[in-house]
Every structure is written in C-alpha cells, then in structure tokens.
A and B are shown apart, each in its own frame.
Chain A
Amino acid sequence: MIKVEDLSKSFGKIKAVDHISFQVKERENLILLGTSGCGKTTTLKMLNRLIEPTSGKIFINGENILMQPPEILRRGIGYVLQNNGLFPHYTVAENIAIVPQLLRWDRKRIENRVSELLEKLHLDTTYLNAYPNELSGGQQQRVGLARALVADPPVLLMDEPFGALDNVTRSKIHAEFKALDELKRKTIIMVTHDVQEAFELGDRICLMDKGRIIQNGTPAELLFNPVNSFVKDFLKEQRLQLEFKALHLIDIWDWLPTSKKRETKLNLMSDTGLWESLEGFKFTNSEEISISHQNNEIKTVGFEQLMAAFYQYKKQQTHE
C-alpha cells in the first residue's frame, strides 16, 4: 500500500532522515518509534508532502506521490498533528467539517457524518458549537482525530496523537482507538516516542535513530530478536510488560495444554494479545478462559497454565 524507497531529507548539514526504506501493507498499523529528534516527524511529513524529500521515492497504491498535486494528495490522507492544530476560530463542528467543505460535500451529508463521528468518538453533541479552547486536552485530541477521519481517507498519519495526555486518559483513548471500527480498515502510520504505546497499538514498529531505521519488525521480533544492542537497550525498561504486549495467544498456543471444553465467563480468539488476556482474568474475575483457534479448536486454561506456556515460549526463543 505504502512504499518508501531510499528516502532522505537534509536541513542544511543536518541529515534529519537518512536513506530509509520501508513498506506498510494495507490496514497495517506501522509505528515510527525513536527518541526526540531522530526524524520521525520529518519522515511522516514527507508522506503528505508537508516536507519535500531531498531524495528518494514514495508510492501510495503504486503511484509516485511526488508526481501528484499536493492538495489533492493531502485530501486523501488523514493527518493528526503533534499538538492537534485545531482552528481556534472554528467550532468543533466546523473544524471537523473542513475537509468535506474542501471536497464540496452537501450540507446534509456533512452534518450526518459529523454527528456520526462525534458519537463514535464519545463526544457529546453539546460540544458541536463549542470552540477548541473550551475543550479539555483529551477532547481536543478526539476532535483532531475526527477531523482526520471525516472524509474516510484510506491512509492516516498520526504524529504523537496522544502525546499531551495524562496516563489514565491515554490508556482510555488507547482502548477506544483499538475498538474503533473506522480505524480497523485504515493503513496507519503513527509516530511516538513511547515504547508502551508502540507495543500496544502497532502491528509493526520501525525503530529509528539519527535519521536511520535501526530495525523494522513486529513487536515480538524487536523484543526477542533485536538486531543490535541499541534495540535491546531501547526496550529494556518494563520489559516484562512489553513482552506480554508483544505476544498473542497464538504465539504460545503450542505450549498450552489441551483439555476438555468447559464453560467459562470469557471466550477469546487466539489472535488476542497476551496482555489483554491477562487483564481479562482480572476484569472478569474468572479462574479460567476459553481460547478458540482457527479450526474451531478450543483450549480452556487457567492463569498458571497461561504463564507457564509464556515462559516456555521465552525459553525456546533464547535457545534459538
């Protein structure tokens, strides 16, 4: 879907982005992760041509975007700014309606779409006529997201969308984010410097440093097969939590004991994350959960069995 080839950007002598290449498949969620100043924002902005590359190529659906009129390109790409960038002189409704206005939708259609989004993003309709400065930071983020989603663009670029939020609000929005059907059908490239966030929301992660991509892979690959000590060190903190977040039930399937099917409060699919599953025990207060695999194979396991399988998986990874 998105293909970046040998992309570079220099500001004078500073090589902000240095010959990077990566691909993002359709409906995939790619995270650009790295410390401050490593070139994440610059990379993202080149994708909608807010910044013109010094060299390299970018294809979206096989088309070279550097050949397209930038305005047209941008109307098909949702963009959420690092610090939301809402129009202070527009109401919430007007802010969300900016792109549809540019696309000359009729009034009725715009109205319907705006209220639909407000509902999905859990914003009260009383805020429709409020100005951004009357909203909390979290509400502003949601409006910023709604504004990017309104025309249902296939591609969404997000620059630290949850950067300015406290931890409680952030995990709440994370949950909503994952649940949002609109986002499931989008190809998303998201920038963050928060490792936990990257592991929670990303299908794949590009870990960047000094304008280069150090490793590009799934969270589990980064965690269990780091290419060098930089990657390893980067993921050092709260490693256990990351491991839970990186793994899915399917990864440890083989180590889960087979058993007869029993009634449980919680039934999960095997592509559920391990972290989520562990949380499931806590929230539902159950002794056991049922896990269904593709071919209707079902395993019912308790907390200890799950943890045991996890350690076996880890042991095997380090032996390889």
Chain B
Amino acid sequence: MNEQQQTLWGFMAQQSDKLLTQTLQHIGLTFISLFIAVLIGLPLGIFITRKKQFSGTVLGIAGVLQTIPSIALLGFMIPLLGIGAKPAIVALLLYALLPIIRNTYTGITGVDSAVKEAAVAMGMNKWQVLFKAELPLAMPVILAGIRTATVINVGVATLASYIAAGGLGEFIFGGISLNNTNMILAGAIPAALLAILFDFLLSRLQHLNLKKLKTAVAALPLLLIIMSSFYFIPSAYGGKLTAGFTPEFMGRQDGNLGLQSKYGLKIHTIVISDAVMYKAAYEKQLDVISGYSTDGRLKAYGLIVLQDDKGIFPPYYAAPVVREDALNKFPELEKTLNMLSGKINDSVMTDLNYRTDYLHQSPERVAKDFLLAHTLWQPERNGKVGVVRIGSKIFGEQYILAEMYAMLIKGYTDYDVATKTGLGGTKICFDALTNNQIDFYPEYTGTGLLAILQSSKKTVDSLGGDKNKIYNYVKNVFKAKYNIKWLQPIGFNNAYALMMRQKQAKDLGVKTISNLKQYLESK
C-alpha cells in the first residue's frame, strides 16, 4: 500500500504501456465517432438547408439526444448493441451530431445569397453550387461545429470505459474506486490535454485564410481516418467465456491479481463499470463478473456466486464498530446491537438489498418488515436519556442496517437516536467515528484489515483468509489503536465474488472457481 507515496510521474512511468494504449484508444474512440458523426451530420445538415420544413425536427431530435445524460445513454445502448466499442461509438457520435448538423445548417444558410445566385447564374448545377460555393464558404462555421463536437467527444469518451470500450476513463474511474489519486490524474491530465490540444489545432484550422483552408480541409478526412485507426477495438467477444471486472477488482491483490496467481485463471477479460456489469451479465454480454456477494442485483438478474475454494477473497463480515466511551455512556447499547448478531446470512442480505435496490422499497420499510418477521420489533419507547448517533456508508445495505439499529435502540432502550447516513466511503465514516461525530456504524472485517489498518501483505497472508482469525485480529488492533470495539458479526459476508448466470453455471457444471478454470482449460 505504498501507492500514496508514489509520485504521479512515477506512476505514469510505471504504467506507461497502459497509459499509451489508453491514450491511443481515447483518441481513436473520439475520432471514429467524430468521423461517423461528420459522415452523417454533414449530409443531414445540407439536407435540411434544402428541405427547410425538416430543419426543426432534425435539429430538435439532435438537441434532445444531447441532453440525455451520458451514463444513461450508454445504459440504453447495452440491450441494443451489447458492450464494448460499438455502443460507445454510437453514444459518442450521437453527442457529436448536434453541433455538426447545426453548424452545417447555419453555415450554409448564412452564405451570401448574391454569391449563390451568381453561382447558379453562371450555369453551375446544384452539386457544383454546393461544392464550389456553399460548402467552402460555410467551412469556417462547419469547422467550429466539428471543433465543439471533438471537445465534447474527448470528454464523453472517458465514460466509454464504463462499458468496456477502453480509453483514459479506465484510469480515471479505476483511480476513483481504488482511491488512488495518481491513477485518477494519470487518466484525467492526458484527457484534458487532448481536449486542449484538439481544440487548439482545430481553432487554427478554422482561422486559416481561405486559400490554405482548401488544402487543409482536403487533408481532414485523411487525418480523421488515421486518428481513428488508433483504436484497435478491444474486442468484447472471443474466447470461450468473457469476464467483466471492475477497474478496482482488476487492480487488487484480493481481486484479479489473486485469481491469476492463486488459481491460474486465464479468462478473456474486459474492464467494465459496476453500474452496468450485472445487467451485461444478464444480457449474456458477459459470462463471469466480479461482484459483491450480497448485492441485490445478484438476485434480480438470476446470478449465482462461485465458491472461492482457495480462499483468495478475504472475508468481509459485517459487524458494528463502536467507540468504547459510547459503550460506557450507553450501557444498554452493546446488548441491543448484538440482537442482530447471527440473524442475517448472505442470502437474506441479498434479498434485503434486492428489495431496496431493485424493488425500490424504502430501507425503513425493509428494516421494519425484517424485524417484524423475526419478532424483534417493538414500538418506540420515546426515551430521552441521551442520543445515540448512528452512521452509515453511502450504499443500500448500510442504510438498511442503520434503520434496523435505530428501531432496535428506540424499541428496547430509553435512548433517542440520530442517524447520519450516507457518509461517503470508508474513510469518511471512520473519521466521523474517531472524531466523535457518530457513535457507531456497520463495518466489514476485510475493510478494517485492508483499508483502515492498511495491513502489510505479510500480516494478511498470515491470517490466511480465515474468517475468525481476521475478526479477532481487527478486533484486537482496533481496541489497542483506536479504543474502538468490534461487536459480534451480523452473520453475512459481503466479500468480492465471481458470479455467473445460474443457468449457464449449471449447464457447464461450474460451482467453484476451480471448476471454472477446469472448464476454460478443457479441450
């Protein structure tokens, strides 16, 4: 865990291969889509100058396309075009269309009518008028449109990594989920530089005098094609099975690196965002994905978890972590919180998550239903003996747990409750706890071990992925170091997991990760 100390330059040098690939992919993506957008937008723009009655409709549609949020647009593309290059290019080109069509239209309609009339009067046919008079004179305006489209595309292309199309987004979003600033910057800085560079070059082109512009514009298609060829399509297909892993999973020892070293798993892999991964597996775009074992989408999309028979994914058992002084201040608290202990296993948690994430039931309702079903629910006592402050991280499962704890405290003690849910990531939550902003929140053993304690590889190896050993280790160290107590585990393990579609796993006879490896190596 020395990434934090490493300089940005060091990171870029070390990852120069990847950086180059991603940059080239980024340029390629930008220009392929730009090229196609020009091929579509220019004729369409010309068409609506000829048939003005269509101009409102065409510009309107292009305008609406542009307002669709990029992630949503990429999401729409998956069922139609799958994942990978195709949907990314289509989405990008849709964004690039409006400025190109609009500027072609305004450029051509803005050409001096005396010049057009002269062209006709000298006996030019309509194509000659277009190519010899209208287009050359509209070119500065059209180029301005292409310039806008290019800059938009460089920006939106970062999102292509969400659907496994590569580009600098891989570093940016990988860095965000791994909390690795150098990685974010290694993606963001080149992306920004590309935008600035292309903007500058096109602005120069736009302001060339008319004579030079002729040659420059003639060279433009060639340039576009060359730039486009930078993009060797990262094929989303090929191999027996295709895996889609999040950027975070790709970079972790307890993720893809471990899969390779401990299992020797060799699978055709693409990088994809957590947001679309489950759906893509459901749509059969992907066969194996890296998910969280209690994610509600597991149930929603009919996926099953492959057994980690060699134990490379450290356990992430959830348990409340409480400051010792809060336990002293609220003597009833520990007992009350432990009422949940052992009550929620993996499949129960998955089901609860499914209800909030997929059925969109409120965490409150899901929590209350659960407590009622397990006869743990009691009406509020409306006690006023001090206020217990509950924290939670910013995802569904934590909201549900926080609600359950709040109900238990109100029902079984005379304390009042304040909930501070949605505290960003681990770091924010833990800082709130140590700085006496909250009294407890649910944490996971694996997170405690790796993210909070930043334990060395040696320590992690010595614990051997054993559930109890890890629990005891974090419990002891937290107590000694922070005076924070880990209460009894709730029961479920929200660890990394490999998942497949139920039916496919059954058909292939794959139950464990080792099974998967055997299947991949068979024949």
Asked if A60 is at the interface of the complex by the 8 Å CB criterion, the answer is no
What are 16 A-B contacts with C-beta separation under 8 Å?
A: A48-B121, A50-B117, A50-B120, A74-B121, A74-B122, A81-B121, A82-B114, A87-B132, A88-B115, A88-B137, A89-B210, A98-B122, A99-B123, A102-B123, A102-B124, A131-B210
Q: What is the CB-to-nearest-CB distance from A189 to chain B, in angstroms, rounded to a whole number? A: 14
Besides A48-B121, A88-B210, 4 more A-B contacts (Cβ < 8 Å) are A50-B117, A74-B120, A85-B117, A131-B210
Q: What is the CB-to-nearest-CB distance from B166 to chain A, in angstroms, rounded to a whole number? A: 41
Across-interface contacts of B214 in A (CB, < 8 A): 89
Across-interface contacts of A91 in B (CB, < 8 A): 211
Contact with B along A69-104 (1 / 0, CB 8 A): 001111100010111111111010000001100100
Asked if A147 is at the interface of the complex by the 8 Å CB criterion, the answer is yes
Interface residues of A (CB under 8 A from B): 48, 50, 71-75, 79, 81-89, 91, 98-99, 102, 131, 147
Contact size class for B? 20 to 34
Across-interface contacts of B122 in A (CB, < 8 A): 74-75, 79, 98-99, 102, 147
Q: What is the CB-to-nearest-CB distance from B117 to chain A, in angstroms, rounded to a whole number? A: 6
Whether B121 pairs with A102 at a CB distance below 8 angstroms is: no
Across-interface contacts of A88 in B (CB, < 8 A): 112, 115, 137, 210
Interface residues of B (CB under 8 A from A): 112, 114-115, 117-125, 128, 132-133, 136-137, 210-211, 214
The one of A72, A73, A87 that contacts B115, using a Cβ cutoff of 8 Å: A87
Across-interface contacts of B118 in A (CB, < 8 A): 79, 81, 84-87
Whether B114 pairs with A84 at a CB distance below 8 angstroms is: yes
Across-interface contacts of A89 in B (CB, < 8 A): 136-137, 210, 214
CB closest residue in chain A, given B126: A71
> How far is it, in angstroms, between the C-alpha of A85 and the C-alpha of B214 when the chains are bound?
20
Whether A81 pairs with B114 at a CB distance below 8 angstroms is: yes
Across-interface contacts of B124 in A (CB, < 8 A): 71, 98, 102
4 closest residue pairs by CB, A with B: A85-B118, A75-B123, A74-B123, A85-B114
> How far is it, in angstroms, between the C-alpha of A42 and the C-alpha of B495 when the chains are bound?
82
CB closest residue in chain A, given B116: A85
Whether B123 pairs with A87 at a CB distance below 8 angstroms is: no
> How far is it, in angstroms, between the C-alpha of A91 and the C-alpha of B214 when the chains are bound?
13
Across-interface contacts of B114 in A (CB, < 8 A): 81-85
Across-interface contacts of B137 in A (CB, < 8 A): 87-89
> How far is it, in angstroms, between the C-alpha of A87 and the C-alpha of B121 when the chains are bound?
13
Across-interface contacts of A86 in B (CB, < 8 A): 115, 118
Across-interface contacts of B123 in A (CB, < 8 A): 71-75, 99, 102
> How far is it, in angstroms, between the C-alpha of A71 and the C-alpha of B120 when the chains are bound?
8
Across-interface contacts of A73 in B (CB, < 8 A): 123
Q: What is the CB-to-nearest-CB distance from A121 to chain B, in angstroms, rounded to a whole number? A: 18
CB closest residue in chain A, given B139: A89
Across-interface contacts of A48 in B (CB, < 8 A): 121
Assuming the contacts A88-B137, A89-B136, A102-B128, asked whether A81 and B120 have C-beta atoms less than 8 A apart, the reply is no
Q: What is the CB-to-nearest-CB distance from B208 to chain A, in angstroms, rounded to a whole number? A: 12
Across-interface contacts of A50 in B (CB, < 8 A): 117, 120-121
Tell me which of B115, B119, B210 has the highest count of chain A C-beta atoms within 10 A of its own C-beta: B115
CB closest residue in chain A, given B213: A89
CB closest residue in chain B, given A131: B210
Whether A79 pairs with B128 at a CB distance below 8 angstroms is: no
> How far is it, in angstroms, between the C-alpha of A200 and the C-alpha of B118 when the chains are bound?
27
Across-interface contacts of B128 in A (CB, < 8 A): 102
CB closest residue in chain B, given A83: B114
Across-interface contacts of B119 in A (CB, < 8 A): 87
> How far is it, in angstroms, between the C-alpha of A71 and the C-alpha of B137 when the chains are bound?
22
> How far is it, in angstroms, between the C-alpha of A83 and the C-alpha of B115 when the chains are bound?
9
CB closest residue in chain B, given A101: B132
CB closest residue in chain B, given A74: B123
> How far is it, in angstroms, between the C-alpha of A79 and the C-alpha of B125 when the chains are bound?
16
Q: What is the CB-to-nearest-CB distance from B443 to chain A, in angstroms, rounded to a whole number? A: 69
> How far is it, in angstroms, between the C-alpha of A86 and the C-alpha of B124 when the chains are bound?
14
Q: What is the CB-to-nearest-CB distance from B439 to chain A, in angstroms, rounded to a whole number? A: 75
> How far is it, in angstroms, between the C-alpha of A71 and the C-alpha of B136 when the chains are bound?
21
CB closest residue in chain A, given B209: A131
Tell me which of A74, A85, A98 has the highest count of chain B C-beta atoms within 10 A of its own C-beta: A85
Q: What is the CB-to-nearest-CB distance from B128 to chain A, in angstroms, rounded to a whole number? A: 7
Q: What is the CB-to-nearest-CB distance from B205 to chain A, in angstroms, rounded to a whole number? A: 15
Q: What is the CB-to-nearest-CB distance from A70 to chain B, in angstroms, rounded to a whole number? A: 8
> How far is it, in angstroms, between the C-alpha of A48 and the C-alpha of B125 when the chains are bound?
14
Across-interface contacts of B211 in A (CB, < 8 A): 91
> How far is it, in angstroms, between the C-alpha of A72 and the C-alpha of B125 when the chains are bound?
9
